[in-house]
Amino acid sequence: MKLELSKRQEAILEIVKKEGPITGEQIAERLSLTRATLRPDMAILTMAGLLEARPRVGYYYSGKTPNKVIAEKLHRIKVGEVKSVPVVVSEHCSVYDAVVTMFIEDVGTLIVVREGGILEGVISRKDLLKITLGGQDIHKLPVGVVMTRMPNVITVGPDDSVWLAAKKLITHEVDALPVVRPVEGGDKNKDLEVIGRLSKTNITRLFVELGEGN
Ligand code: ADP
């Protein structure tokens, strides 16, 4: 990902790199432009984190490359800000009902919980396809026998960065992660309350929004 700067913005950046700290007035002079003309460019460069402005000192170069600025942004956005509501079933739910739930809720991953919304496992589309090929009675078969069970479920917390979540999706080759928080007084590794779902769609949507400059 690369931040596209205009020719004039590149020129401003070069001046500040060489001469900073430097006032807006002085930058305008170097470019034979008015301060007012430069104002939008200065705003973009400061908002992008490339330049920093200090009152009575002027502008100076932050030392960050555009890619570094983007990386910092991705580490700052939290899972809690982009997560979706979880679609959950009980482990006694039949494979048939799980398939129906997937269609109705329009999700590719179901999260299996026990009483209190505590994470038990996850079921993917292919888990359900595989069991369907087995020729067993899917009306009777509970999802508990096909799900990926705790402690093998990869999760994220609401305060983790979206970057970490995306990294886990890629590293573990899964489509979605339950968003969890430890239950008060419970076992930190075993008793996780499901409070959301983070899928590749959330990451893609964020990517589109960032691309639109939001
Ligand atoms: P699909 O199987 O439809 O391609 P996934 O790639 O998400 O979808 O799932 C692959 C396997 O990983 C499945 O067996 C599924 O149960 C399991 N799985 C899915 N999500 C997770 C997760 N967050 N943690 C651990 N295992 C998962």
pLDDT 10s digits, 174-189: 999 999 999 988 887 7
Confidence of residue 4 (pLDDT cuts 50, 70, 90): confident
Computed on alpha carbons and rounded to an integer, the radius of gyration of the chain in Å comes to 25
CA-CA distance, 54 to 22, in Å (whole number)? 10
Asked whether the whole model's pTM tops 0.85, one would answer no
Say if residues 149 and 120 touch (Cβ distance below 8 Å).
Answer: yes
Res 2 pLDDT > 60: no
Tokens of 188: 């930190």
**Residue indicated by tokens 């580490």:** 75
SS3 content of the chain, % helix, strand, coil (to 5): 45, 20, 35
Mean pLDDT value across residues 12-21: 92
Contact residues of ligand 1, CB 6 A cut-off: 109, 122-127, 148, 152-154, 173-177
Checking if the pLDDT of 46 tops 80, the result is yes
Q: What is the pLDDT of residue 214?
A: 63
On the question of pLDDT at 54 being above 90, the answer is no
* pLDDT cut 90: percent of the chain above it: 76
Q: Which of 89, 148, 164 to mutate to test the pocket of ligand 1 (most atoms within 8 A of CB)?
A: 148
* 108 CA: nearest ligand 1 atom: 3
Distance, CA 204 to ligand 1 centroid (Å)?
18
